[in-house]
Structure 1
Amino acid sequence: MDGRTRMELLPFAPAHADTVAGWPVSAQEVVMWCGRREFPLPARTVAEWQRDEGVQAHVLVVEADVVGYGELWFDAEEDEVELARIIVAPGRRGSGWGRTLVRGLLAHAVAAGHADVFMRVHPLNAAALRCYRGAGFVTVDTDLAASWNAAQPTAYVWLRHEADAPATG
């Protein structure tokens, strides 16, 4: 990845569903990515996510190749946005594209004017946690995480974007 590489964060289109659904390489990865217990994940599932109110999905396109996918879940009542279901194509992982995708999604969230931006991460997804912390996300208070996890199927690691948090890597 260098400064000359052409990349864009574009709105998700139904034609992207097959590509994105094919990226998880195992049943465990599907669980860590989106909490589903289907492998392989059907493309129709990814397409149906777009019908949820308040969801804006995007793809990261690099030199005409779709290399990343992520969603913004807007909650106007709580004045917050959650970054969700972020995944990078298997052959592009470990090259910084995840962090680029997260920063692009974060820019959209901030531009929408919401006060808080959060993420939840499966506790076994160490690579994602490194990526998100590198993009300026920090772990929320233990009590707050426990209250949010009370209704969840997994004890997620909850992160909040801190504008003044040092980005790493």
Structure 2
Amino acid sequence: MDLLPFSTAHATTVATWPLSAAEVAMWCGRGDFPMAAETVAAWQQDTDVTARLLVEDERPVAYGELWFDAEEDEVELARIIVAPEARGRGLGRVLVRGLLGEARGSGHSDVFMRVHPDNDRALRCYRGAGFVPVDPELTQAWNAVQPVDYVWLRHQ
């Protein structure tokens, strides 16, 4: 299994992975379904975003992003999704560990994630990868400008 730089050539594949509007909302906070490949490709335009693709036997099986914030000296892991046919095999955790390695290697002091509160499977995965909830006061402050009350996690 390899963690490779994401190519927009795979945007169409990744855009098909959420199977419902609810999955799109939990994955990236958007309301449109089906997801447009152009949206996934456009995410790559932000210079603070680094996207990765987990590949197994030359087949993409998971996608995730690192959002670098030099001003706050932190990295946020974001938009993590596993291909429907590959779910339930621990690949989300493999992807998260690979992204964590890159985040830690960047020299930033903190690594965070925000997770939709209804995404129980993701929460179990991220807690299993060493993430813990941030202080309730910090969660409340960060959620003040968010569309939903996310569960905010910090890597230990």
**TM-score with structure 1 setting the length:** 0.92
Aligned partner of 1:97: which letter? L
* Equivalent AA in structure 2 for residue 79 of structure 1: D
Can you give the 5+ residue segments of structure 2 that lack an aligned partner in the other structure? none
Letter in 1 for 2:117: P
Quote the offset at 1:53 in angstroms.
Answer: 2.5
Give the match's secondary structure for 2:33: coil
Residue 13 of structure 2 is matched in structure 1 by: 19
The list of structure 1 runs, each at least 4 consecutive aligned residues, that deviate by more than 6 angstroms after superposition, is none
Residue number in structure 1 paired with 2:114: 120
1:76 corresponds in structure 2 to: 70
Q: Report the equivalent of 1:129.
A: 123
Percent of matched pairs sharing the same residue: 68
Over residues 8-45 of structure 1, what are the superposed CA-to-partner deviations in whole Å (9 max), with x where a residue is unaligned? Answer: 00000011100000000000000000000100000000
1:35-82 superposed Cα distances (whole Å, 9 cap, x missing partner) = 001000000000000001300000000111100000000000000000
- 2:30 aligned to which of 27, 36, 41: 36
Task: Tell me the secondary structure at the aligned position of residue 99 of structure 1.
Answer: helix
Correspondence for 2:82: 88
Q: Which protein has the bigger helix share?
A: 2
Render the CA deviation track for 1:107-150: whole Å, top value 9, x for unaligned: 00000011000000000000000000000000000000000000
Question: How many residue pairs get matched?
Answer: 156
TM-score, with length taken from structure 2: 0.99
Alignment of 1:59 onto 2:53: yes
Q: 3-state DSSP class of the match of 1:50?
A: helix
Match for residue 10 of structure 1?
4
Distance 2:128 2:56 in 1: 21
